[in-house]
Amino acid sequence: MQSPTLEQCLKQWRNWQLEPSASEAPVVARKLNQGKTNQSYLLKTAQHSYVLRIHADSALHSIDRQQEYRIQQAVKKMGLGTSIYYQSPNDSYRVSAFIEGDTVTQLNVLNNDQLVQLCEAIKKLHSVSIDLPIFSYSQQLTRYWQMLNQSTSVTTADISEQASMLSLCLKYENDYGRRRSLCHHDLHGGNIVLSGQGSASKKVIFLDWEFAGFGIPSFDFAALACELALDIVDISRLCGISCNELNRATSVYRYICEVYNRARVC
């Protein structure tokens, strides 16, 4: 799939089935910063705002866009995601609703009430019923490692660490993989929005579902702890998952991110 240009996407605006219906072509207000694998733009009409996301064309990002579409539709019904108005026939771009609010990255620090609300939203996400293939962390790690190995020279120490971490990843899947649910797998602060007016009415919205799959729930809470520098004991108390499992998931998450980021810049 070759990624279209911004201009090519905008020419097709009459096909987008926007809600509410637009009688004028949306204009680009600005480029959005979140996301490493796509190009996103804020579009505006006279009264409404939308997000145009152009999907990356890269061997590293082997993403099932139809599965991502199904997942986002399912979580929207649970009040945890945004509406999709249009996805191009070849899955090269999509147009979604724009959510007003602050990302967790913009907030910088969560208070205790917000952290409790966020953990409850993640548990609600894990309860979404959707038929998906099992997500393999070890296969994901192996694919990123192969891409890294093809793109740059790796050291003996790198190879030794990869073998050790792959073994840990396989043990994590073997020990905890019997309990599976829909997982986001990319819960950094830029993918979490608190929307709405006033602290009491804010709701949690998750963005960017391209890495989501039928995974192990502790992985999402481990990602949250890593990305927001949260204490594992506090997260364990809020999510009901043991510190031992969360610590294992944290090690797997950090290493997968390390290999992914090294492969991405090669």
Could you identify the residue written with the tokens 């998906």? 132
Start-end of CATH 3.90.1200.10 domains in the chain: 102-265
pLDDT value at position 167?
98
Cis before 133? omega within 30: no
Predicted confidence (pLDDT) at residue 199 exceeds the cutoff of 60? no
The CA distance from 155 to 257, in Å, is: 18
Residues 82-131 pLDDT 10s: 999 999 999 999 999 999 999 999 988 889 999 999 999 999 999 999 99
What percentage of the chain reaches a pLDDT higher than 90?
A: 83
Residues in CB range of 42: below 8 A, 6 or more apart: 28, 29, 30, 31, 32, 49, 50, 51, 98
- The tokens describing 179, both together, are 């309990």
> Strand (E) positions, 75-184?
84-87, 93-97, 101-103, 181-183
User: Which has the closest alpha carbon to 187: 233, 231, 218, 142?
Assistant: 218
* Beta-carbon count within 10 A of 237 CB: 12
- The tokens describing 239, both together, are 């999510």
What string of DSSP letters covers 40-105? EEEEE-SS-EEEEEEEP--SS----HHHHHHHHHHHHHTTSSPPEEEE-TTSSEEEEEPPPEEEHH
Predicted confidence (pLDDT) at residue 139 exceeds the cutoff of 70? yes
* Top-confidence residue, 151 or 175: 175
Element (H, E) at 32: strand 27-32
Start-end of CATH 3.30.200.20 domains in the chain: 6-98
pLDDT value at position 63?
87
Average pLDDT for 139-168: 95
Stated pTM of the model: 0.93
What class does CATH assign to 6-98?
Answer: alpha beta
Residues 23-73 pLDDT 10s: 889 999 999 976 667 899 999 998 899 999 999 876 666 789 999 999 999
Mean pLDDT of the chain: 93
pLDDT value at position 146?
94
CA 216 to chain centre: 15
The CATH number corresponding to 102-265 among 3.30.930.10, 3.90.1150.10, 3.40.605.10, 3.90.1200.10 equals 3.90.1200.10
pLDDT value at position 197?
63
